[in-house]
Chains A and B, each alone.
Chain A
Amino acid sequence: MSGELLELTAAAAGERVRAGELDPHELFEAYRERAAADDLGAFTWVADAPPATVPGDRPLAGVPLAVKDLFCTEGVPSQAGSRILEGYRPPYTATVVAKLADAGAPLLGKTNQDEFAMGSSNENSGFGPVLNPWDRGRVPGGSSGGSAAAVAAGLAPWAIGTDTGGSIRQPAALCGIVGLKPTYGACSRYGMIAFASSLDQAGPLTRDVTDAALLLRHMVGHDPCDSTSVEFPGEIATPRAEHLRGMRLGVPEELTAAGAGVEPGVRDSFEATLALAEELGAVVQQCRLPHAAHGLSAYYLIAPAEASANLARFDGVRYGLRADGDADLITMYSRTRAAGFGAEVKRRIMLGTYALSSGYYEAYYGSAQKVRTKISQDFNAAFEQFDFIVTPTSPWTAFELGAKTDDPLAMYLNDFCTVPMPLAGIPAISIPSGLANGLPVGFQLAGPAFSESRLLDAAYALEQAIGFDGRPARR
């Protein structure tokens, strides 16, 4: 298969398939070969053969899909990046994956990730780190690092990941691709190995905004197996906006002010994009999100608390790793979990357990849930004046492997622009806005709940104007 075909976006490849110019079987096999030759650590499992039939006549035209490891895929390893689930093959498939397969996007492979989605660099995987295709000495971001790297390196046409505090958007930014976190409840969580139940959402990682819209269209929808899922109002439209006239973009000072900690290169790219937005007719103004600065604190109480309960099922009884099965029960539990979980997961379980424990609930978890209310209120107020809130996605470009692993707090600070949105349950998208020191920079737009179509439209207009055509060097 010619290299040019592998450069096609998923939508474009799909059109060729529908036009009869491209055999979906061949397309799958071409990607399969590339994925199997992955040397970025992006994949934890690759299909060893194309499926018997590749559905070229379905809406997604048989364009193969890379799926983050934590999505249950029946009969296929689903490990959430953890040794405690090494080799685990679930007896069922996540709803979102099933929907996409049904819509014509067959499973290409499972992608590497930070263990149980906890991390911002994909250095916490139990199966080795993922390398950023732009610079192999640097991280791709996390936790959906594998999905982002795979798409950026052309090992997969598109991918899905999950976002809890930024885990789709931030790796998308660090790898120079598009990543979108939908409104909470828009996509079913059934079959997604849980990290933080009230924050987790599945979403697309793609080469461009059009692909993201196409994939998202077939991901959303109420699932009777997920009580927290809702029917998405209307259909996700194909983005086509050519300008931003009439759009009001709010820039929250709390997240973007000089002292906020944004790297100069990222700031420059951000401001250049704002200028572009104005050229497209948008009105760009400062806005206030008074409690956004506390988003990290609230997030790092709520997410670990929920995770500490979600991960209690990994106890060596019914599946996964068991250590010291001959010891007494409590020892078996404690050693299994000690052996199976990595350092970051242990840390968060400890933090979460502490935040919920007797005597501390009100001060920690209870207060965090109140901060969450304030953040939602802040966004609601802001959206009365603005159509979208915009920020840099990540305060810095891809950092070096090992640069932040000694200081968990430093790693957590990565997330300050991305955590407020999941706390409020609102959608947000990251698009590449340029390069800083040769590394990609991401621009984030956030909108009110269920504003995905408008969000994608605005992102599309900007994307076209930015004209980012960077690709990491292909090997």
Chain B
Amino acid sequence: MSIGAYEPVIGLEIHVQLRTQTKMFCGCPLSFGDPPNVHTCSVCLGLPGSLPVVNARAVHFGVMIGLALGSEIAERSLFHRKNYFYPDLPKGYQISQYDVPLCRGGRLGEVRIHRVHLEEDAAKLNHLGESGRIHGSDRSWVDFNRGGTPLVEIVTEPDIRSAEQAREWLTLLRTTLKTLGVSDVDMSQGSLRCDANVSVRPAGSAELGTKTELKNMNSFRFLERGVKAEIERQVRLLESGEPVVQETLHFDPASARLTPLRSKEEAHDYRYFPEPDLVPLVVTAEMRAAAGAEIPELPAERAGRFERELGLSADRARDFARRAELGDYFERALAEAGGPVAGDGAKGADGAPRAVDPVELANWIPQLVERIGSETDPADSKVAPRSLATLAAMVKAKEVSRDAARDVLTRLVQEGGDPRAVVEREGLGALGGEDQLVDVVDRAIASDPAAAEQVRAGNMKAIGPLVGYVMRETKGRADGKEVARLIRERVGAKS
């Protein structure tokens, strides 16, 4: 199978639960793990005679999202009824938006936005039976607490070209929405849900292949795996001369299998028509301004600021902006950098001398992430931001070697605490100067005269074992570069 001959074309359809106090069309509070049916009313139960009324704050959040994504906000949009029967849909239709949505167009990073609209969430259908899954259970029951929760649906253009990119971009979207404060965007809790439309085409072709819809991927990892599996499946099909059939697929991560979720007979005819119980939704200039005023610094801006004002590389800046927990930790560490640690004289944007060099500090964050795992928020680790800043400053000031600092970080991750104390306790401080080292260097040379002779002759590759000897003897406290320089000097190497 040669995936390279084919180009994946991926679009995402994201549903975001909004952090309003109440539901989209009624005043019931939103629920989190409450007993069933404690937050219902005539409206969200679909009782006869009930009528929906739009939640102003949900609209506000919708406009904020549209503005943050650079979309065009419709001054006037309509709600529509999307008609189908299912137990989690009390009215037998969902109130959503159809051909006159709240927002059109936009862009986030390298992916264009197709549309953004408001709608209500379905209720929760639970299943009795052995495995708790649909197959093999006889009865199900509905909990309407979730029904009516405000949702924003974001649909992208099919601009994504790999499963990895899908995951990365979704991370950026998540950070953006989290920054806006409009949602908890927690995939494990269902406040962020993502379906993918996947097709492939011969590389270089401009036509789109048949797409399939992937549902039920409830983590970033599953999204990436699911999309990857589907790309492979489609390529295998096409390579064996078979067509891709348009269908909806459910990804089961345990088995890495894709199963059709809906058979063709049940293809829905949603019979959309404008919701007669709601009047057109108007977004006034005041509403736009109010939404815009509440938008804080978004990832793109933050990345720019990291680059410009703190000197981070473009890639590092982007990474810290997209993964907000890293950016947040970084900025906190900078702010809390305490103590009269000698810096390199670099000044901050406000002209005040920095206690820690941002670039040096930035280097240590990936080191931290490596040790705690990429799924953990650094803020939840035992390494206080202030501690990491201190460690970075110490390295920059050559108070501790880079190698030794790595060791210190490992200990901080395990035990927490202050890096200075760890260095002192473990005796990991950098060796003061040449005098301390000369002794050890001489012993290294004496231990391996052959290597020493090579180095004297100008063969730098041979220096490895000698440096290694010194590092071991000094428990890594020496600075590698300094050791190599000293060895060359002591053997009288030809430069």
Q: Which residues of A contact B (CB under 8 A)?
A: 70-72, 78, 80, 85, 88, 90-92, 94, 189-194, 196-198, 224-228, 305-306, 308-309, 311-315, 317-319, 329-330, 333, 353, 356-358, 361, 365
Contact with A along B147-173 (1 / 0, CB 8 A): 000000000000000000000000000
Q: Which residues of B contact A197 (CB under 8 A)?
A: 276-277
Q: Would A85 and B48 count as touching, CB distance under 8 A? A: yes
Separation of A71 and B48 alpha carbons in the complex (Å): 9
Q: Which residues of B contact A312 (CB under 8 A)?
A: 83, 85, 91-93
Given contacts A72-B49, A190-B50, whether A305 and B277 have CB atoms under 8 Å apart is no
Name B48's contact: one of A72, A196, A315 (CB within 8 Å): A72
Separation of A94 and B83 alpha carbons in the complex (Å): 25
Contact with A along B81-100 (1 / 0, CB 8 A): 10101010011110000000
| Smallest Cβ-Cβ distance to A319: which chain B residue | B47
Q: Would A227 and B279 count as touching, CB distance under 8 A? A: yes
Given contacts A228-B279, A317-B87, A333-B85, whether A309 and B273 have CB atoms under 8 Å apart is yes
Given contacts A191-B49, A313-B48, whether A305 and B91 have CB atoms under 8 Å apart is no
Q: Would B54 and A361 count as touching, CB distance under 8 A? A: no
In the assembled complex, the CB of A323 is this many whole angstroms from the nearest CB of chain B, namely 15
Check: B46 CB closer than 8 A to any chain A CB: yes
Separation of A197 and B142 alpha carbons in the complex (Å): 27
Given contacts A317-B87, A356-B273, A357-B271, whether A91 and B47 have CB atoms under 8 Å apart is yes
Q: Which residues of B contact A198 (CB under 8 A)?
A: 276
User: Tally of A-B residue pairs with Cβ under 8 A?
Assistant: 104
Q: Would B52 and A227 count as touching, CB distance under 8 A? A: yes
Q: Which residues of A contact B42 (CB under 8 A)?
A: 90-92
Q: Would A318 and B45 count as touching, CB distance under 8 A? A: yes
Check: B289 CB closer than 8 A to any chain A CB: no
| Smallest Cβ-Cβ distance to B88: which chain A residue | A317
Separation of A357 and B83 alpha carbons in the complex (Å): 10
Q: Which residues of B contact A226 (CB under 8 A)?
A: 51, 53
Separation of A356 and B428 alpha carbons in the complex (Å): 77
Q: Would B92 and A361 count as touching, CB distance under 8 A? A: no
Candidate in B48, B92, B269, B272 with the most chain A CB atoms within 10 angstroms = B48
Q: Which residues of A contact B53 (CB under 8 A)?
A: 224-227
| Smallest Cβ-Cβ distance to A358: which chain B residue | B269
CB within 8 Å of A: which B57-83 residues = 81, 83
Contact with A along B375-412 (1 / 0, CB 8 A): 00000000000000000000000000000000000000
Q: Would B50 and A305 count as touching, CB distance under 8 A? A: no
Q: Which residues of B contact A314 (CB under 8 A)?
A: 48
| Smallest Cβ-Cβ distance to B278: which chain A residue | A227
Candidate in A78, A197, A309, A357 with the most chain B CB atoms within 10 angstroms = A309
In the assembled complex, the CB of B144 is this many whole angstroms from the nearest CB of chain A, namely 8
Q: Which residues of A contact B278 (CB under 8 A)?
A: 227-228
| Smallest Cβ-Cβ distance to A84: which chain B residue | B48
Q: Would A309 and B142 count as touching, CB distance under 8 A? A: no
5 other A-B residue contacts (CB within 8 Å) besides A313-B90, A313-B91, A318-B46: A91-B42, A91-B47, A227-B53, A309-B92, A315-B85
Separation of A305 and B81 alpha carbons in the complex (Å): 11
| Smallest Cβ-Cβ distance to B142: which chain A residue | A317
Q: Would A80 and B48 count as touching, CB distance under 8 A? A: yes
Separation of A224 and B56 alpha carbons in the complex (Å): 13
Separation of A224 and B46 alpha carbons in the complex (Å): 18
| Smallest Cβ-Cβ distance to B43: which chain A residue | A225
In the assembled complex, the CB of B119 is this many whole angstroms from the nearest CB of chain A, namely 16
Q: Which residues of B contact A70 (CB under 8 A)?
A: 49
Q: Which residues of B contact A (CB under 8 A)?
A: 42, 45-54, 81, 83, 85, 87, 90-93, 142, 269, 271-273, 276-279
Q: Would B83 and A356 count as touching, CB distance under 8 A? A: yes
Q: Would A227 and B54 count as touching, CB distance under 8 A? A: yes
Separation of A94 and B87 alpha carbons in the complex (Å): 26
In the assembled complex, the CB of B27 is this many whole angstroms from the nearest CB of chain A, namely 10
Q: Which residues of B contact A356 (CB under 8 A)?
A: 83, 271-273
Q: Would A189 and B271 count as touching, CB distance under 8 A? A: no
Separation of A71 and B46 alpha carbons in the complex (Å): 15
Given contacts A227-B54, A227-B278, whether A318 and B273 have CB atoms under 8 Å apart is no
In the assembled complex, the CB of B86 is this many whole angstroms from the nearest CB of chain A, namely 9
Q: Which residues of B contact A227 (CB under 8 A)?
A: 51-54, 277-279
Q: Which residues of B contact A71 (CB under 8 A)?
A: 49
Q: Would A305 and B48 count as touching, CB distance under 8 A? A: no
Q: Which residues of B contact A72 (CB under 8 A)?
A: 47-49
Separation of A371 and B85 alpha carbons in the complex (Å): 30
In the assembled complex, the CB of A341 is this many whole angstroms from the nearest CB of chain B, namely 13
| Smallest Cβ-Cβ distance to A196: which chain B residue | B276
In the assembled complex, the CB of B439 is this many whole angstroms from the nearest CB of chain A, namely 84
| Smallest Cβ-Cβ distance to A85: which chain B residue | B48
Separation of A356 and B51 alpha carbons in the complex (Å): 21
Q: 19 A-B contacts, Cβ less than 8 Å apart?
A: A90-B48, A91-B42, A197-B277, A226-B53, A227-B53, A227-B54, A227-B277, A227-B278, A228-B51, A306-B273, A308-B83, A309-B81, A312-B83, A312-B91, A314-B48, A330-B85, A356-B273, A357-B269, A361-B271
Q: Which residues of B contact A329 (CB under 8 A)?
A: 87
Q: Would B271 and A353 count as touching, CB distance under 8 A? A: yes
5 closest Cβ pairs, A-B complex? A312-B92, A197-B276, A356-B271, A198-B276, A193-B48
| Smallest Cβ-Cβ distance to B45: which chain A residue | A318
Given contacts A309-B92, A315-B85, whether A193 and B273 have CB atoms under 8 Å apart is no
Q: Which residues of B contact A318 (CB under 8 A)?
A: 45-47, 90
Separation of A198 and B275 alpha carbons in the complex (Å): 9
| Smallest Cβ-Cβ distance to A92: which chain B residue | B42
In the assembled complex, the CB of B365 is this many whole angstroms from the nearest CB of chain A, namely 50
Q: Would B49 and A315 count as touching, CB distance under 8 A? A: no
Name A313's contact: one of B46, B51, B273, B277 (CB within 8 Å): B46
Q: Which residues of A contact B272 (CB under 8 A)?
A: 356, 361
| Smallest Cβ-Cβ distance to A190: which chain B residue | B51
Q: Which residues of B contact A78 (CB under 8 A)?
A: 48-49
| Smallest Cβ-Cβ distance to B79: which chain A residue | A227
Name A358's contact: one of B51, B92, B271 (CB within 8 Å): B271
In the assembled complex, the CB of A318 is this many whole angstroms from the nearest CB of chain B, namely 6
Q: Which residues of B contact A353 (CB under 8 A)?
A: 271
In the assembled complex, the CB of A358 is this many whole angstroms from the nearest CB of chain B, namely 5
Q: Which residues of B contact A228 (CB under 8 A)?
A: 51, 276-279
In the assembled complex, the CB of B85 is this many whole angstroms from the nearest CB of chain A, namely 6
Candidate in B42, B51, B87 with the most chain A CB atoms within 10 angstroms = B51
In the assembled complex, the CB of B342 is this many whole angstroms from the nearest CB of chain A, namely 65
Name B273's contact: one of A92, A225, A305, A330 (CB within 8 Å): A305
Q: Would B54 and A309 count as touching, CB distance under 8 A? A: no
In the assembled complex, the CB of B164 is this many whole angstroms from the nearest CB of chain A, namely 37
In the assembled complex, the CB of A271 is this many whole angstroms from the nearest CB of chain B, namely 38
Q: Would A306 and B276 count as touching, CB distance under 8 A? A: yes
Candidate in B50, B91, B93, B272 with the most chain A CB atoms within 10 angstroms = B50
| Smallest Cβ-Cβ distance to A306: which chain B residue | B276
Q: Which residues of A contact B54 (CB under 8 A)?
A: 227
| Smallest Cβ-Cβ distance to B81: which chain A residue | A309
Separation of A197 and B52 alpha carbons in the complex (Å): 12
Q: Would B48 and A225 count as touching, CB distance under 8 A? A: no
Q: Which residues of A contact B277 (CB under 8 A)?
A: 189, 194, 197, 227-228
| Smallest Cβ-Cβ distance to A354: which chain B residue | B271
Q: Would B51 and A309 count as touching, CB distance under 8 A? A: no
Q: Which residues of B contact A319 (CB under 8 A)?
A: 47-48
Separation of A313 and B46 alpha carbons in the complex (Å): 7
In the assembled complex, the CB of A368 is this many whole angstroms from the nearest CB of chain B, namely 11
Separation of A193 and B91 alpha carbons in the complex (Å): 13
In the assembled complex, the CB of B272 is this many whole angstroms from the nearest CB of chain A, namely 8
Name A90's contact: one of B49, B90, B93 (CB within 8 Å): B49
